[in-house]
Structure 1
């Protein structure tokens, strides 16, 4: 007598097909590569050149008040950072940030063609909002070779 052939049970296959995930990751990578330069756009100003030491890097993002060539003021917080702000709105937003994070560094980024009075006015507004000190942003001078 011969024994009947045994049926072997197939085990279920427990492997994950990762090819679709790789496709999704590549698409996301392309999207991030395209959108990353757009995220760093802001108000275009031509900073004055000065030979100064850079500030030490801090963990907190600084509060930056930008004054463009026409004297309009912009703040890098909240919605519409690309829209000019009135003095009262600017002070209210800056005060809110400084109340929530008192150690936030405060900087003024002004175009080199802006009259000195407009820069001083911006600094006074920030001090009224509660900034203990205000720094000025500059570009390093060009070295002639």
Structure 2
């Protein structure tokens, strides 16, 4: 008797496709874990911006000074950080930019001096000079 092939019914055939349901389950669990682990951005970056015109006259040569008590001065006039930013924005916007001279006192804090230099740099002023450094050539000299 010759062999005859009979096709199996569809329900009895072995499954040849890959079952991806467990893969999707694992990926969803990983996604939820990553969402829970990533910290929420709670910090803010405060960028100082000028909020008006400068209060004092801008000359061809201007001096930004810091005294021993960390007070800021623009050509001898005391001001705060925001007022200095406004003055610097006015100076940077001029067609012929004036020279900004930075003159910290020997007892001025390094932090205040560094922040003031950064403020001057970020304001867009191109003509910048340090003044009075020759007084402090000998480290520790009074």
TM-score range, shorter chain: 0.3 to 0.5
Structure ranking higher in strand proportion: 2
TM-score (norm 2): 0.47
| Greater RCO, 1 or 2 (C-alpha within 8 Å, sep 6+) | 1
TM-score (norm 1): 0.46
